[in-house]
Amino acid sequence: MSAADGTVDILLVGSGGREHALLTKLAASPRAGRLWVAPGNGGMLQMAQRADVDASDGAALAAFARERGVGLVVIGPEAPLVAGVADVVRAAGIPVFGPSASAARMEGSKEFAKGVMARAGVPTAAWQSFTDEDACAAHVRSLGGPCVVKADGLAAGKGVIVAQDTDEALAGVHECFSGAFGVAGSTVVVEELLEGPECSLLALTDGRTVVPLATSQDHKRALDGDRGPNTGGMGVYSPVPILLPGEFERMVQIEQRVVDQLRDEGVTYSGCLYGGFMLTKDGPKVLEFNARLGDPETQVVLPRMRADLVDCLLACDAGTLSPSMVAWEDDWAVSVVLTSAGYPGSYERGKLISGIDEAEALPGVTVYHAGTRLDESGAILTDGGRVLDVTAVASSFEDARNRAYEACDKISFEGKTYRHDIGIKAIKGRERL
């Protein structure tokens, strides 16, 4: 399905900042042909054509790809992966970047992922799962202290309650079982609360070879000082300077063991395996696995990556991935997420955005669209909770961070909110966290 000149037409599924970053990196490949997005956002539609197809309908995506000679389908978000969209497209003979539904259960079910980790001997928090609220509440009371309460299924990054005491944990249990997270909360996992700084490690894999990407650290809480509710991510930086000797290698080994365990159980994991780790005093332990590239981690990892992303993603599908395909720039990236007032709760849409061109005129700055749309005149409007990812790349961490915030100041829309402390943890150093 490649053109005679060796280029590949690409259909990218998704509409967030991660997908805009993916599209930008894919477009930079000499192998990139026509670019389609389903559904895309205000920034992506300035680079690619919109595919008029339901992004959750695997058969429709496969038909669209066949009709237009698409040679690679890239699935960004977790929901279509868990629903098996990659399986349908792959069965049609079209190369896909994204795991099968059976592999995507690593994100789609925390209970399933914990079972795989146990069988693989992977270090993680002690846990139990429940389908009954009373039994779950009794277990929480027996713990008598801090714990983590998680809705088992997909909850857009919001189904995790980090409880500092029993009352807070019981409230989290009730929130899950009351339907706040839909069917995702019908099973609840209760874990011990691990201590230490967090670190994300995304890795490409073809089901056998695991190629780690650069480390990054997300900021999940809505407010400065890691206060407020969990969100999909308020900002991120890469690489993570607080890793101790051997910790990176240990995280890579853990991800390799998970891929090997799944393969031994008859599941080929092809795509991105995203490990969320806690750097404890006993070494890295897994907080969770996700079945796709992180958002907003992708927005700082891909800009630093020296690779032909089209070749890498095709190799994941073909089973020909090699570590030699990826190298890294010796620089730093910081991304600050601009959100709509009220996020992650209710918020208004349709606010006019200005200043993006001025922000991107700064050296090393790229503004990735997350929740935006274009109106009839081509103006850019807000259309989500997380609106823009303002990313800066520079030779030092301080320069990247300062440039990102300088760029944020140039962008305006009614209700613009953001955290002011993204990256402070990297400046403090590990011993002061």
- The three-state secondary structure class of 288 is strand
Tokens of 16: 């967030």
Residue 136 Cα distances to 166, 174, 253, angstroms: 12, 9, 33
Mean pLDDT rounded to a whole number for the chain: 95
Q: Is residue 168 part of a domain?
A: yes
Is pLDDT above 60 for 4? Answer: no
Q: Is residue 305 part of a domain?
A: no
| pLDDT of amino acid 233 | 94
Is pLDDT above 80 for 310? Answer: yes
pLDDT in tens, 354-369: 999 999 999 999 999 9
**Considering its fold, how many domains does the chain have in total?**
2
Q: Are residues 33 and 79 in the same domain?
A: yes
Is pLDDT above 90 for 37? Answer: yes
Q: Are residues 91 and 169 in the same domain?
A: no
In 206-331, beta strands by DSSP E: 210-218, 221-223, 227-230, 235-238, 271-280, 283-290, 305-306, 327-328
Is pLDDT above 90 for 19? Answer: yes
| pLDDT of amino acid 431 | 59
- 359 phi and psi angles, rounded to 5 deg: -65, -45
32-39 and 49-50 beta bridge pairing: parallel
Query: Of 110-119, 265-274, 420-429, where does mean pLDDT reach its minimum?
Result: 420-429
Q: Are residues 88 and 160 in the same domain?
A: no
What is the residue whose two structure tokens read 């799944």? 262
Q: Are residues 79 and 16 in the same domain?
A: yes
| pLDDT of amino acid 426 | 81
Report the CATH number that the domain containing residue 64 is assigned in CATH. 3.40.50.20
Q: Is residue 365 part of a domain?
A: no
| pLDDT of amino acid 18 | 98
Residue with the bigger pLDDT between 194 and 1: it is 194
| pLDDT of amino acid 433 | 45
Radius of gyration of the chain (CA): 21
Which band of pLDDT confidence, cut at 50, 70 and 90, is reported for residue 5? low
**What's the rounded mean pLDDT across residues 411-432?**
87
> Taking the complete model, does pTM exceed 0.85, yes or no?
yes
Largest CA distance in the chain: 66
Report the CATH number that the domain containing residue 146 is assigned in CATH. 3.30.1490.20
Contact between 147 and 157 under an 8 Å Cβ cutoff? The reply is no
| Nearest 10 degrees: Cα torsion 403, 221, 433, 199 | -80
pLDDT in tens, 264-302: 999 999 999 999 999 999 999 999 999 999 999 999 999
Q: Is residue 73 part of a domain?
A: yes
Is pLDDT above 50 for 43? Answer: yes
Q: Are residues 40 and 81 in the same domain?
A: yes
Q: Is residue 361 part of a domain?
A: no
**HEC string of 181-240?**
CHHHHCCEEEECCCCCCEEEEEEEECCCCEEEEEEEEECCEEECCCEEEECCCCEEEECC
Q: Is residue 214 part of a domain?
A: no
Is pLDDT above 80 for 343? Answer: yes
pLDDT in tens, 372-421: 999 999 999 999 999 999 999 999 999 999 999 999 999 999 999 999 99
- First-to-last C-alpha distance (Å) of the chain: 51
Q: Are residues 93 and 21 in the same domain?
A: yes
Residues 138-157 as b or e (16 or more Cβ within 10 Å = b) = ebbeebeeebbbbbbbbbeb
Is pLDDT above 90 for 57? Answer: yes
Q: Are residues 153 and 89 in the same domain?
A: no
Q: Is residue 398 part of a domain?
A: no
Q: Is residue 87 part of a domain?
A: yes
249 CB-near residues (< 8 Å, 6+ apart) = none
Number of Cβ within 10 Å of residue 245's Cβ equals 6
Residues 295-325 as b or e (16 or more Cβ within 10 Å = b) = bbbbbbbbbbbebbbbbbbbbbbeeebeeeb
Burial of 374 (0-12, 13-18, 19+ CB in 10 A): middle
- The three-state secondary structure class of 26 is helix
Q: Are residues 92 and 143 in the same domain?
A: no
Which band of pLDDT confidence, cut at 50, 70 and 90, is reported for residue 156? confident
160-163 and 147-151 beta bridge pairing: antiparallel
Residue ranges of the alpha helices (H) in 6-146? 17-27, 58-68, 78-82, 85-91, 101-108, 110-120, 133-143
**What's the rounded mean pLDDT across residues 176-193?**
94
| Domain carrying residue 138 | 132-186
| pLDDT of amino acid 1 | 44
